């Protein structure tokens, strides 16, 4: 016959194991939420707003809001949170 200590230890261990299993399932089902991120945009070089002499953008063409919105939509970014 198990002692009270053995019974309690077994019960606690079982409870911990079950809660860990539930936590793993719940975590796998959750959607990640990124609270803050940054996107660097740059317009084309114009006489009104020229790029710095010798400065080169990361990409050779302008990277504007019109280009990033479809990419964000494709990636499932929700800006309303």
Confidence of residue 39 (pLDDT cuts 50, 70, 90): confident
Contacts 24+ apart (CB under 8 A), 48-53: none
Give the residue-averaged pLDDT of 39-52: 86
pLDDT of 7 > 80? The answer is no
Domain ranges in the chain are 1-30, 33-81
Give per-residue pLDDT as tens, 58-78.
777 888 889 888 988 898 887
CA atoms within 13 A of residue 36's CA, in its CB half-sphere: 0
So what's the pLDDT on residue 60? Answer: 77
């Amino acid at each position: 016959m198990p002692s009270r200590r053995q019974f309690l230890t077994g019960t606690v261990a079982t409870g911990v194991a079950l809660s860990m299993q539930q936590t793993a399932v719940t975590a796998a089902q959750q959607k990640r939420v990124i609270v803050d991120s940054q996107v660097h945009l740059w317009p084309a070089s114009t006489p009104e707003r020229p790029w710095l002499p010798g400065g080169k953008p990361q990409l050779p063409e302008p990277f504007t809001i019109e280009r990033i919105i479809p990419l964000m939509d494709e990636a499932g970014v929700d800006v309303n949170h």
